[in-house]
Amino acid sequence: MRAALKLGGLILIGAGLGLVSALAMLNQGMNIGKETVQGWVGSHVSGDKSADPYTRALVARAGLLALTQAETLYFNRTTDEAGKPLRADCTYQLEGGAQPARWWSVTIYAADNYLPVNGDDAQSADATRVAALAKPDDKGRWTVQVSPQKGEATHWISSKNAGNFALTLRLYNPQDGAREDFNSIAFPTLKTVSCPSVPA
């Protein structure tokens, strides 16, 4: 009787550890993939049938119904230029040029993988609106502000109520070179403009 109880207890402990470690794995899905270029994390295997079980589980958790590489490249970033987590109360400037794709967008997601709830209706920048709103200079450069308040920005993404958020770059119908070598992509750069010293 005691032996059976002990066995049951051990199995329970083991099951608990297995469950907790698996869920911890899944909840780290903000940074799917294995290759980081200029702060943007991408994967050559996301959405692919050949992906390993961990990647498959992570993609299902944080990118269910995502497209394959031929159709779209997804990149995620959760840190600033110094490697610190992105914060809702800071002001950042995202600057970039033409992207190697037919169409692109940058979207903000809160830690729960959904759009932040703030009533601002400013969750993304994309190739079409950047061309119209952000007044790219002659070289096609554009800037988008990521901050909790719009301020003087012409084009912004609202980070209000987003907590430690993520930015996702989507490249639709990417050029072959971009797909084969992430290092060839001129990613948008992120700069911290201001940050309250004490996190709100």
Partner 1 sequence: MKPLIKSLVIVVVTAVVVHLAVILSAPNLLMAVAFKRLSAEGKMVNQMIYPPRTTEASRAIVRPSPDLAYSSCAYDLSKGPVRVKAARASDYMSVSVYAANSDNIFAINDRQAPEGVDLVIVGKGQVAPAGTAIVVQSPTQRGIVLERRLAPSAEAFASAELARKEGVCMPL
The nearer residue to partner 1, 82 or 114, going by C-beta atoms, is 114
- Looking at the DSSP bridge assignments, the partners of residue 101 are 174
Of 90 and 127, nearer to partner 1 (C-beta) is 127
Report in angstroms how near the CB of residue 16 gets to partner 1 at its nearest. Answer: 8
**Sign of dihedral through CA atoms 78, 79, 84, 90?**
negative
> In angstroms, what is the minimal distance from the CB of 139 to partner 1?
23
Sites of contact with partner 1 (CB under 8 A): 6-7, 10-11, 13-15, 17-19, 21-23, 25-26, 47-49, 53-54, 56-57, 59-68, 70-71, 102-103, 105, 107, 109, 113-119, 121, 123-124, 126, 128-129, 168, 170, 172-173
Q: Specify the residue, 83 or 119, whose C-beta has the smaller distance to partner 1.
A: 119
Q: How far apart are CA 73 and CA 42, in angstroms?
A: 8
User: In terms of CB distance, is 138 or 176 closer to partner 1?
Assistant: 176
In 28-131, DSSP assigns E strands to 35-37, 40-42, 72-77, 91-96, 101-109, 124-126
Cα(70)–Cα(172) distance, rounded to whole angstroms? 9
